[in-house]
Amino acid sequence: MRVLLTGGNAFVSRALGPALLSAKHEVTVCVRAASQLADWIDEGVSQVVEADLANAGIMALLNSAPEAIIHAAGRLEDPDTPLDLFMRDNFKSTRNLVALANAGKTRKFIYFSSISIHGSVHTTEIDETTRSIEPTPYGLSKRMAEKCLAGQKLVPAVSIRLPGIVGPEAQKNWLSRCRADLRANKPVKISNPDFPFNNVLHSADLAMFVLSLLDRNWSNFHAFPVGASAPMTIATMVETMKNACGSSSETTIVGGGRTPFSISTAYAEKNFGYIPATVDSIISRFCLTDD
């Protein structure tokens, strides 16, 4: 299948790109800047396109119309970034890719969204029906991108609402910071130690799920969260990470922090064959084998 992968230099693409090539897909990679390409982008890639997706006109840069679009590019969450930049890089880029998909022969559109679209969560578990309440600028831009996908009727699309992603060269999420502190034997502070945690996904498992979506037929638009199975309490998880890292860090329980919630994967499992990995297997791989 001819696949357009945006965000080729992104951390998640370092697992997804090689998986697409191994599955014999014809991959076109879109990057904002081609001056420093990720290691996986080599001669196996059909085309490398340097483009700002917020500007229309990407079709003119492509050698052929994509049969599937995997939209992994976007501006990452940052409390200091203003809304207009999030809307530019997350919403406008998606709107332009939707126009590309509708104009060509695209048969599947896979969008990497975020559970941040839910904003202020007032429940102990989120699922595909959880409302969006006062999202951050980042979450709002992702929500608007989803609305853009939902509003078009020509191309079947899914929006995967991602939790914290771990793996080689993981971005600066809580688990990555926790692992770094444990490896450095620094103190680790946690809140809500007894809450069952499954808000995590390994980049390699995300890649395998995306490959399965390319082989699956569906219609219309679907948006849903994904996470891990077999939740662990936060205290147990940190202790497991501590042991895996061989750390002597002290763990301190503090009050406050965000209200915790877990993730229901039932919709993804029932409708799209999602097979969640356990929290234990994810953090074990993250601590024992990842860079």
**pLDDT over 90 at 116, yes or no:** yes
Give the per-residue pLDDT at 27.
Answer: 98
- Residue 167 one-letter amino acid: G
- Please report which helix (H) or strand (E) contains residue 268, including its range: helix 266-272
Give the per-residue pLDDT at 257.
Answer: 67
**pLDDT over 80 at 172, yes or no:** no
Residue 259: pLDDT band by 50, 70, 90 thresholds? confident
The alpha carbon torsion through 44, 47, 51, 53 (nearest 10 deg) reads -90
Alpha helices in 90-202 (DSSP H): 93-103, 137-151, 174-183
- Residue 288 one-letter amino acid: L
Q: Tell me: the pLDDT tens digits for 48-103?
A: 999 999 998 898 999 999 999 999 999 999 999 999 999 999 999 999 999 999 99
**pLDDT over 90 at 249, yes or no:** yes
Domain 2-165+199-225 has CATH 3.40.50.720: yes
Q: Which residue has the tokens 């357009």?
A: 4
Question: How is the chain split into domains, by residue range?
Answer: 2-165+199-225, 170-198+231-260+277-288
2-165+199-225 and 170-198+231-260+277-288 agree in CATH topology: no
Average pLDDT rounded to a whole number, residues 14-24 = 97
Residue 180: pLDDT band by 50, 70, 90 thresholds? very high
Q: Tell me: the pLDDT tens digits for 101-112?
A: 999 889 999 999
What is the CATH topology of the domain spanning 170-198+231-260+277-288? UDP-galactose 4-epimerase; domain 1 (3.90.25)
Q: How many helices and strands in the chain, by DSSP H and E? A: 9, 15
Q: Which residue has the tokens 């203003």?
A: 82
What does pLDDT average to over the chain? 94
Give the per-residue pLDDT at 56.
Answer: 87
Q: Which residue has the tokens 């600066």?
A: 172
Give the per-residue pLDDT at 188.
Answer: 95
Residue 290: pLDDT band by 50, 70, 90 thresholds? confident
Residue 270, judged by CB atoms within 10 A of its CB (0-12, 13-18, 19+), counts as exposed
